[in-house]
Structure 1
Amino acid sequence: MSFLEGQLLVASPAMSDPNFARTVVAIANHDEDGALGIVLNRPSETEVVEAVPELDGVMDPDELVYVGGPVQPASIVVLAEFEDPAEAAYLVVDAVGLVSDRTGLERLGSATARRRVYAGYTGWGPGQLEAELEREDWIVEPALAADVFAEDPGELWGSVLQRKGGQFRLLARMPVDPTVN
């Protein structure tokens, strides 16, 4: 079995779960016990400092909380680019990983170069993700640090498929509602 840390899962157009339609998920941990990931391209309308006042001064005041997935949606998860990657709970790609308790919110500004805040995460039990991959619910592509901090998260699904190339370039241009094509 090959594990998918450092990979993106791009929802196939056939994905029937509305929690994941047109999502791009960065996999932070994957082993025989299951997998953990963060949806990268679902900004909410809530500002970070409104949801987590302790981050005032660390985050841009206009920065939004992203919906990281349907698991524990009231919990806050932070993906950041670390000055010292050893401080990450899990690395996703390069020096980008999940903030751990040992970094703490008070050191977040000095320990990281960039950061993004998520409400919740995605999770799969043993064999669940493998079954979804077998059904072709997901398209796998290596993650780039730029994907985590995409300027326009609404374009991430299409841009990752475009980067993958081949037949995926056609999917990248597929409208949300194919009947309007």
Structure 2
Amino acid sequence: MPRRSPAALPKPLGAPQGEPWLTGQLLVAMPGMSDPRFAQAVICLCAHSAEGAMGIVLNQPIEGLSFDTLLDQLDLKPVPPQRRIRMVTGGPVDAGRGFVLHSTDWSADTSLPVAGEVALTASVDILKAIAEGGGPRQGLLALGYAGWAPGQLEDEIQRNAWLNVPADADLLFDGDHAALWRRALAKLRIDPILLSGVAGHA
């Protein structure tokens, strides 16, 4: 993995007032998802507007890289850390960049509000705070993100690729990756077996 610190966030996508943007919602992949990278994916949509969308996949754990190793690569101390957070593959875009999705009891000037008490930060400061035993109470570190061009996500939802469901802390920060997709669907009271003809709206 290249020795790169989490860089600046993608440009925030401002949503015009009154538009039905889905920032802060969870996208839940339909069983027929054609892109294998997003099979049974649950994504926190961190920004959504007429300019496009960006989100973090919550349930694809990183293989072969530990939090301790990442700190060492970034030359952050202490190693071993006093705290660790869960790490996931956040999506196929900019896989060398790090993003921490976290509760808002900790924030920085560069943090992007997502919804409610959830924010996104792409700064080594948050990793240093966590390693030192501080930082946000809840969080996960994602390498890479999922991105959509203008109108692309709306088109995919219309074609029944995704359902959307309101996010909550239990779904965002629960480390049970294998169960997350079914739990997100259960919040909609939907059985995956019955999904083939369901429209993409919560």
Separation in 2 of the partners of 1:143 and 1:87? 24
Q: Residue 135 in 1 paired to residue 159 in 2?
A: yes
Question: What is the CA–CA distance in structure 2 between the aligned matches of 1:146 and 1:173, rounded to whole Å?
Answer: 24
RMSD: 2.4
2:69 partner letter: E
Q: 1:84 Cα deviation (Å)? A: 4.9
Question: Does the CA contact (< 8 Å) of 2:92 and 2:145 recur in 1?
Answer: yes
Distance 2:30 2:44 in 1: 15
Contact residue 29 and residue 163 of structure 2 kept, 8 A: yes
Alignment of 1:159-170 (within 5 A): 159-165=183-189, 168=190, 170=191
Say which structure is richer in strand: 1
In 2: Cα distance, 1:39 partner to 1:18 partner: 13
Q: Give deviations 1:40-72, integer Å, cap 9, x for gaps.
A: 001122211212332742532xx5521000001
Matched, 1:118 2:142: yes
Question: Residues 70, 38 of structure 1: CA spacing in aligned structure 2 closer, same or farther, 3 A cutoff?
Answer: same
1:48 aligns with 2:72: no
Q: Which residue of 1 aligns with 2:7?
A: none
Aligned equivalent of 2:192, options 168, 171, 174: 171
- Residue type at the aligned position of 2:119: G
Asked whether the equivalents of residues 10 and 140 of structure 1 are also in contact (C-alpha less than 8 Å), the reply is: yes
Gaps of 5+ in 1: 175-181
% of aligned pairs identical?
A: 34
| Aligned position for 1:91 | 113
SS of residue in 2 equivalent to 1:160:
helix
SS of corresponding position for 2:37: coil
TM-score, structure 2 as length reference: 0.74
- The structure-2 alpha-carbon separation of the partners of 1:84 and 1:151, relative to structure 1 and needing over 3 Å to count, comes to closer
Pairing 1:32–2:53 present: no
How many residues are aligned here? Answer: 169
* Residue 23 (structure 1) shift: 0.3
Displaced runs of 4 or more, over 3 A: 84-88, 100-111
Distance change in 2, residues 1:158/1:173 (3 Å): farther
CA 1:156–1:88: 2 relative to 1, 3 Å: farther
Residue pairs, 1:152-163, within 5 angstroms: 152-163=176-187
Preserved CA contact (<8 Å) 1:47 1:64: no
Unaligned runs of 5+ in 2: 1-18, 196-202
Contact 1:25–1:40 (CA under 8 A) maintained in structure 2:
yes
